[in-house]
Structure 1
Amino acid sequence: MGGLLSKEPPDLDSMFNKFEKTDSKSLLKKHLTRQLFELLKTRRTGLGATLLDVARSGLMNPDSVVGVYVADAESLTVFAELFDPIIGDYHQGFSSRSVHPAKSWGNLNAIGDLDPEGKYVVSTRVRVGRSVDGFPLNPRMTAQDYLDVEGQVAVTLSTLEGELQGEYMSLSTIGKARRKELVNRHLRFKEGDRFQAAANACRFWPRGRGIFLNSDCTFLVWCNEEDHLRIISMQPGGDLGQVYRRLAAAVDTIGGSLGFARHPRLGYVTFCPTNLGTGLRASVHVRLPRLAADRARLEQVATEHDLQVRGTRGEHTKAEGGVYDVSNKRRLGVTEFQAVEVVQKGVLALVSAERALEG
């Protein structure tokens, strides 16, 4: 049974004692008090996850923003006294009493083309993170777990038909030329950063990791990157509706075969608590050169529509040629349709504002 007392991990006390003296601004530092630490440090989930598995990265990296990762589905319950306030702080408006809604793709035909003229939107991408039910997540995964997850994922993906049909490539076996090609096309993922590495997300690399790609390069699955699966639909231009419908069909088909881990209150289980809920991020690269020169107006429209606006190449990058990465801020507490609809309305508003500045 989960939640039973276990032998204390040998270095947890010393790690916390050192962390307690730092001036970390992380959510872990804010919420893991000495009293809570003493309460949680001997707990263990049914799959063996401890407080050390959950908090190791944040303890080792005081400059973390969040500082915790999900070690298995049950850890969200066993260590709820820590996860709940951190999740509430990050996902503003989602309290410890809130319940994430059931999956709903909504009216798929209500999402359309954001830029039929092809003047503003460069590309569109919608992805979800998913965990295979019954397996631990990175902090507790063994080398065999990675291989077992990859095996199940590869078999499931081999049954996809139509536009989803494609090829699975294990990173352990693909050749050097193919690896280089995938990197150049931004289709291959690399080992995680130091925050993920500290959470044991990069062990046994590249064992059990792989990429699935359809023939049109509009559908992609990453196996055992950050989550067990990152399911991605993408294409040039602004037809968000087509991208969204492709993703919905893929997620339902894959989930029907594998079974995805889902928490009764927090939605789909993901390695990083920032992705809980839908696990969905709809991202549109949109060209806004005039708004780029009027950052206050850009931020105003983004705030009004609850959007996250980042540079062309993601967080902490600049907008190259006035191209911004625009996506939904909320993933928890909203349905899949609501998350995508926010992006549709927000991008249309940004394009309207850009048009107004053109005179």
Structure 2
Amino acid sequence: MDWNPRPAEELWELISKNDSPSILKGILTEELFHKLKDKKTSFGGTLAHCMSSGCLHFRKNAGIYASDPEAYSVFADIFTEVIRRYHRVEILNHPEPYYGSEEQIRALQNIDPDGETVISTRVRVGRSHAKYPFIPVCSLQNLVDMEKETACALNSLTGELAGKYYSLADLDNATKEQLITDHFLYRHDDETLRDAGLYKFLDKGRGIFFNEAKTFICWVNEEDHVRLISMETGGDIASVYLRLVKAIREMEKRLTFAKKEGYGFLTFCSTNLGTTLRASVLMAIPNVCKQPNFLDVLNKYNIQARGTWGVGSANVDDIYDLSNKRRLGLTEFAAVTEMLNGVRAIKEWEEELVRINKTDK
């Protein structure tokens, strides 16, 4: 099914009369709305495409999604301020990509060499085809063409990255559910993304690629056009990150991705642009998570704690997904290093609390 946003005036009426805690609500004045409401990108993206979800769901988030790579320029009066406020930066001067040398990457220490607390480690990035709009503005042909081009690039990978692409249209429901349960495949059940137009032509032009070991995965047209994911059990961040860097470099030989000076790599959601990198570990922290200063310590190390199954999910058995909070204004290698240092500090805190509890008994 296709999707089109509600008329811009109707969306303005909704958000202007409601108390939304979103960043969009805080900056979208009537004057600014009328200045931008009739503008269009060359892809056909409009302000209504960008603000649709934020005007229907009043949540504490950015409240706006980009219709296409050009939206960051055409609607810069909004996006620049949203990005500044969300990422807490004064100037958008994101550096050029730097993933670290192979020597630097291999020197990254295993977070949990004894295999006691870290269940798994994952590093992912999002990428957008420069020549296509984001999904809400895509035609069915756009999606089909993107899937074909991306699948062709993925299927040409060799060595440990070599694998097979599976189109969602060809997978039965039981296989999809098993892949979701195994943390390999994404869901389509977020109402804020639905009302941003992300689920149009559902299952068409979408799919998943994974290598034989399932340590390298690529989601195609899930949220971003391409989401590259490296993962494995345990805490060997060097192994996981090095594999991802190899995948990024190989894909860049085959596809052209959208970038903007000062903004880094462009993504559908402005909260993810820049490096687009999220490095995370799934770790049990049953003592730390109950401490009254837990959130303060997370903020100190720029670490974000999410549920066991990712954003919006609950915590099972005190297992948290811990990842780097900063993605804009620093290099990829710096983001991974920041996550590593923060998670190691939290792990050491957990171990200290275990020792104290044993002594008290």
Which TM-score tier does this pair reach, normalised by the shorter chain? over 0.9
Confirm or deny that 1:104 pairs with 2:110: no
Confirm or deny that 1:299 pairs with 2:295: yes
User: Mean alpha-carbon deviation: is it higher for 307-316 or for 210-219?
Assistant: 307-316
Residue 176 of structure 1: CA displacement?
4.1
Residue 61 (structure 2) aligned to one of 62, 65, 78: 65
Confirm or deny that 1:90 pairs with 2:89: no
Residue 318 of structure 1: CA displacement?
4.2
In 2, the alpha carbon distance for the partners of 1:301 and 1:12 equals 42
Please state whether the residue corresponding to 1:308 is helix, strand or coil. Answer: strand
In 1, the alpha carbon distance for the partners of 2:134 and 2:264 equals 16
Question: What is the aligned partner in structure 2 of residue 52 from structure 1?
Answer: 48
Q: List per-residue Cα deviations over 1:86-105 (Å, max 9, x = no partner).
A: 1111101x22x321100001
Is the Cα contact below 8 Å between 2:130 and 2:257 reproduced in 1?
yes
User: Mean alpha-carbon deviation: is it higher for 74-83 or for 313-322?
Assistant: 313-322
Question: What is the aligned partner in structure 2 of residue 277 from structure 1?
Answer: 274
Residue 174 of structure 1: CA displacement?
2.0
Letter in 1 for 2:15: F
Please state whether the residue corresponding to 1:172 is helix, strand or coil. Answer: helix
In 2, the alpha carbon distance for the partners of 1:16 and 1:131 equals 28
User: Mean alpha-carbon deviation: is it higher for 12-21 or for 121-130?
Assistant: 12-21
TM norm structure 2: 0.92
Change (3 A) 1:192 1:289: closer
Residue 19 of structure 1: CA displacement?
2.1
Q: List per-residue Cα deviations over 1:265-286 (Å, max 9, x = no partner).
A: 2110100111010111011112
User: Aligned runs of 1:215-254 on 2, under 5 Å?
Assistant: 215-254=212-251
Please list every run of 5 or more consecutive structure 1 residues that lacks an aligned counterpart in the other structure. 1-8
Q: List per-residue Cα deviations over 1:166-210 (Å, max 9, x = no partner).
A: 110000012344334323322222225221111211111110000
Confirm or deny that 1:27 pairs with 2:43: no
Please state whether the residue corresponding to 2:305 is helix, strand or coil. Answer: strand
In 2, the alpha carbon distance for the partners of 1:158 and 1:316 equals 33
Letter in 2 for 1:188: L
Change (3 A) 1:114 1:262: same
In 2, the alpha carbon distance for the partners of 1:315 and 1:154 equals 27
User: Mean alpha-carbon deviation: is it higher for 99-108 or for 173-182?
Assistant: 173-182
Please state whether the residue corresponding to 2:304 is helix, strand or coil. Answer: strand
Is the Cα contact below 8 Å between 1:301 and 1:349 reproduced in 2?
no
Residue 315 of structure 1: CA displacement?
3.4
Letter in 1 for 2:93: V
Work out the number of aligned pairs and report it. 348
Letter in 2 for 1:102: E
In 2, the alpha carbon distance for the partners of 1:62 and 1:34 equals 18
Question: What is the aligned partner in structure 1 of residue 10 from structure 2?
Answer: 14
Is the Cα contact below 8 Å between 2:94 and 2:330 reproduced in 1?
yes
Residue 350 of structure 1: CA displacement?
1.1
Residue 37 (structure 2) aligned to one of 23, 26, 41: 41
Change (3 A) 1:34 1:283: same
Residue 46 of structure 1: CA displacement?
1.4
Please list every run of 5 or more consecutive structure 2 residues that lacks an aligned counterpart in the other structure. 356-361
Please state whether the residue corresponding to 2:322 is helix, strand or coil. Answer: strand
Residue 230 of structure 1: CA displacement?
0.9
User: Aligned runs of 1:1-359 on 2, under 5 Å?
Assistant: 11-63=7-59, 65-92=61-88, 94-95=89-90, 97-106=91-100, 107-296=104-293, 298-359=294-355
Change (3 A) 1:14 1:319: closer
Change (3 A) 1:190 1:162: same
In 1, the alpha carbon distance for the partners of 2:314 and 2:191 equals 23
Residue 227 of structure 1: CA displacement?
0.5
Question: What is the aligned partner in structure 2 of residue 5 from structure 1?
Answer: none
Is the Cα contact below 8 Å between 1:301 and 1:346 reproduced in 2?
no
Please state whether the residue corresponding to 2:320 is helix, strand or coil. Answer: strand
In 1, the alpha carbon distance for the partners of 2:232 and 2:161 equals 13
Is the Cα contact below 8 Å between 2:11 and 2:48 reproduced in 1?
no
Is the Cα contact below 8 Å between 1:112 and 1:242 reproduced in 2?
no
Please state whether the residue corresponding to 2:280 is helix, strand or coil. Answer: strand
Q: List per-residue Cα deviations over 1:254-300 (Å, max 9, x = no partner).
A: 1221111111121101001110101110111122222133242x334
In 1, the alpha carbon distance for the partners of 2:202 and 2:105 equals 38
Please state whether the residue corresponding to 1:119 is helix, strand or coil. Answer: coil
In 2, the alpha carbon distance for the partners of 1:147 and 1:30 equals 37
User: Mean alpha-carbon deviation: is it higher for 236-245 or for 53-62?
Assistant: 53-62
Is the Cα contact below 8 Å between 1:192 and 1:202 reproduced in 2?
no
Identical amino acids, percent of aligned pairs: 39
TM norm structure 1: 0.93
Letter in 2 for 1:25: P
In 2, the alpha carbon distance for the partners of 1:292 and 1:76 equals 38
Question: What is the aligned partner in structure 2 of residue 4 from structure 1?
Answer: none
Letter in 1 for 2:280: S
